[in-house]
Structure 1
Amino acid sequence: MGLRPRPGRTGRQLGRAHGGGGVTTVNATTPLTPLDGIRVVDLSTGLGTYAGRLFADLGADVIKVEPAGGAPERAVPPLTEGGLSLAFAFTEAGKRSVILEGSDADRAEQLENLLGTAQVLLTSEGPGRLRERGLRPADVTRRHPALVHVSISPFGLTGPWADRPASDLTLLAAGGLLALAGDPDLPPVRAWGNQTSIISGVHAATAALIAVLVLEETGRGQIVDVSAQEAVAHSLENAVQYVDLEQSVRHRVGSGPVEAGTGLFACSDGWVYLVGGLGGLPLAWNAITEWLEGAGVAGAATLREPRWLARDWRRSAEGVRTFRDLFERFAAPRTKRELYEDGQSRGISIAPVSTPDDLLASPQLVERGFFRPMTVDGRTLAFPGSPYRFEGLDVAPGIPPARPGADTRAVLDALPAAARTTAHSKE
């Protein structure tokens, strides 16, 4: 991806576009990133920040526009020893930071000129607030017809809930995920972290990339309207399939096995998740039975009885309990890694429940270099990298977030003359 060569812009000159149509040229041997030449103006908070991070990973010039003093998200715990939010360090890595200067009118003019140099705008507020800020998407794309305005908001730009306030918890509830999380006889359980921000960011970045392709083909921008509620609803695993295929609605089932052979099982150093049945039907049942028999587990041979093929028995409380007792006696002296490697070698669907330390030591993730070192406040930490690879290119290079306003002068001085004059007149 990335801007294609145009008249006066050869392959050797393809690079980041800046104000006034200028281009920072790159050497012919310099590897181009997938989004080289794409500028993203990131006005988002919360819901939109991860989308901006994904663009930065792919090589876009992402400019984070912060309020005076810096974004309040910089102080959200947990913090580094220097007082920077670790979550902020992750979502803002690779972005440049700009603080617009002068009066309200000056800042509005600087923003307009900045948008004139960009291909993508990220916002994360409802339609009412966008209208108050002069950023109503229809108006923005009319003023900048070659701009993709990605609006990420709690409930989308239309509908009776469009301007309702929301939080991660309320969006998980509105999107349906809370209905599936937790024990059936207890209140729902919220997943740790701001999951709606990650879910919305992935959906927004995917849609925005498609819009950028259209922009490159046609020269026309468009509005990308992302509803966090809908993004969550789109991420409910197989809940919709259950309605479609079995005419049943999934409910909270807790952490215990949901049918014989499937669920969480304790082992010597934690837990494994085993899928030995799905929809009441056994999966790799003979392999599981042979595994337990080979280990000398008392009673393992009873798993060959015909009742284990019956859906009702497999889903009965007694069937679930009987299998769990057998398997956990087998698993008790074994580590989750041993169970994972041995089970996988037998064609059994089993996986360890990994802790953060497990993930850092995972041979698969280590081999692929998933965790990337990034120095924040003088200390080098391991942060999650990108889940994709491009031959010959490095993505997510581990550039720490800029200090508040660190790139203000470089960015504003590269804007068209009118904006530079406005900014310097206030210095």
Structure 2
Amino acid sequence: MTMTAHQCPTPLDGVRVIDLSTRLGAYAGRLFADLGADVIRVEPPGGVPERTVPPLVGGVTSLSFAFTEAGKRSVVLDLDDPVDAARLEDLLGTAQMLLTSEGPGRLRELVLHPDDVTARHPRLVHLSISPFGLTGPWADRPAGDLTLLAAGGLLTLAGDPDLAPVRAWGEQTSVIAGVHGAAAALMALLALEDTERGQVVDVSAQEAIAHSLENAVQYFDLEGVVRHRAGAGPAEAGTGLFACADGWIYLVGGLGGLPLAWEAISQWLEDNGVEDAEQLREPRWRERDWRRGEQGIAVFRTLFERFAAQRTKQELYEDGQRRGISIAPVSTPHDLLSNPQLTERGFFRKLAVGDRTLAFPGPPYRFAGLDVGPGEAPAEPGRHTEAVLNSLSASAAAQAPKE
């Protein structure tokens, strides 16, 4: 019998993840849910605070919470209650992974420090995503998205050099740390299959952010140069953001003083009758100092934006790609929702949240013959408590010795 994509086992079929994370670790749980794991979000009575942080959608939950919690089940337990604390222990006994995202001090208060958890559950992978890792002088320092962006170095690269740094939109630290944590935890799961031994995956959000700073670390390592904010302006002629008829495009005509696509760009402008485009053939444009000087940058911008002003970013993108030029539109959210490639690949999924239907980003991966992604909209607090606790009771009864 041939199985459909919906019937085939998912990559994490049979894996249970207990999600006790804050916002910092929530995206990692979403990635596991997308891969087919049974991710059980354990919440306190009334639900976790992140549910109601504005902006609300559907009148019931916040947009960021809806994004990170899609596909998870919700169980409400009061961990200050000895009965519910015991239920959590039973739940951990059925799981392959525990996900937390607080510092070591807070985890010890909850009796959920990896040292404690792995002693009680030696076959459990404990993915600990925390602001600064489980050890070191900053391990228990409080931190939010903004402070982690600063501590990880991202704010030193974002914005104009003579102005304040610019914060990346949204909870980017959760996404960055979540991707690093999920990748490492998947390797730990593979080791668990072979050895039947769990392990601790200790992820510092600060280190994950530093690892994501494009080539800033390599600049320092190889050239001794500390990169700083450069703003939106290009560092050399032919590369950077350029205005067009309906927004902006990003063009890479040169990099590191090398001309790269210079011939193709020059021909492009000449073919379209741009006045004075022929000057781009002059020998000075092959000189690094000229191309990286203020005058060269300004001359190129004038020529190119004269050409681009009559064309949309989509037209420029398609024509430039045909010519082998590295060019991309700067997309708005509306552009992404109607993007032909994303639409054709079915990247966005429709999920009902409260009284609204939202377009959810799908998973950042595809598997041949498998339909992975958020299966359901975020559950209301405790929707699955009864079912999960009943399954624990049934499991305990089945394992009890027969008289």
What is the TM-score of this pair, normalised by structure 1? Answer: 0.90
Counterpart AA for 2:66: A
Distance in 2, Cα, partners of 1:98 & 1:123? 16
1:107 aligned onto 2:80: no
Mapped contact 1:141–1:147 kept (Cα < 8 A): yes
Distance in 1, Cα, partners of 2:219 & 2:287? 19
Q: Which residue of 1 aligns with 2:239?
A: 262
Q: After the TM superposition, which segments of 4 or more aligned residues of structure 1 sit over 6 Å from their partners?
A: 417-420
Q: Secondary structure at the match of 1:260?
A: coil
The runs of 5 or more residues in structure 1 that have no matched partner are: 1-25, 421-427
Distance in 1, Cα, partners of 2:304 & 2:79? 68
Cα shift readout 1:73-98 (whole Å, capped 9, x = no counterpart): 11111111323111111100000000
Distance in 2, Cα, partners of 1:269 & 1:166? 39
Kindly, what percent of the aligned residue pairs are identical?
74
For 1:123-138, what aligned pairs fall within 5 Å after superposition? 123-138=100-115
Q: Which residue of 2 aligns with 1:52?
A: 29
Q: Which residue of 1 aligns with 2:315?
A: 338
1:200 aligned onto 2:160: no
Q: Give the CA deviation at 1:105.
A: 1.3
Q: Secondary structure at the match of 2:129?
A: strand
146, 153, 176: which one pairs with 1:176? 153
Distance in 2, Cα, partners of 1:346 & 1:380? 40
Q: Give the CA deviation at 1:103.
A: 5.6
Q: Secondary structure at the match of 2:142?
A: coil
Distance in 2, Cα, partners of 1:350 & 1:207? 33
Distance in 2, Cα, partners of 1:295 & 1:194? 43
The runs of 5 or more residues in structure 2 that have no matched partner are: 398-403
Q: Give the CA deviation at 1:275.
A: 0.4
148, 168, 171: which one pairs with 1:191? 168
Cα shift readout 1:6-28 (whole Å, capped 9, x = no counterpart): xxxxxxxxxxxxxxxxxxxx99x
Cα shift readout 1:320-368 (whole Å, capped 9, x = no counterpart): 1111111100100100000000001000000000001100111100010
1:42 aligned onto 2:19: yes
354, 357, 361: which one pairs with 1:380? 357
Mapped contact 1:120–1:149 kept (Cα < 8 A): yes
Q: Give the CA deviation at 1:114.
A: 0.5
Mapped contact 2:19–2:99 kept (Cα < 8 A): yes
Aligned length: 394
Q: Give the CA deviation at 1:216.
A: 0.5
Q: Give the CA deviation at 1:397.
A: 4.1
1:276 aligned onto 2:256: no
RMSD after superposition: 1.7
1:145 aligned onto 2:122: yes
What is the TM-score of this pair, normalised by structure 2? Answer: 0.95
Distance in 2, Cα, partners of 1:126 & 1:141? 17
Distance in 1, Cα, partners of 2:367 & 2:395? 40
Distance 1:94 1:263, change over 3 A: same
Distance 1:146 1:392, change over 3 A: same
Distance in 1, Cα, partners of 2:346 & 2:310? 32
Counterpart AA for 1:387: P
Mapped contact 1:145–1:220 kept (Cα < 8 A): yes
Q: Give the CA deviation at 1:68.
A: 0.3
324, 336, 345: which one pairs with 1:368? 345
Q: Which residue of 2 aligns with 1:14?
A: none
Mapped contact 1:110–1:419 kept (Cα < 8 A): no
Q: Give the CA deviation at 1:296.
A: 1.1
Q: Please, which moves more after superposition, 92-101 or 247-256? A: 247-256
Distance 1:213 1:418, change over 3 A: closer
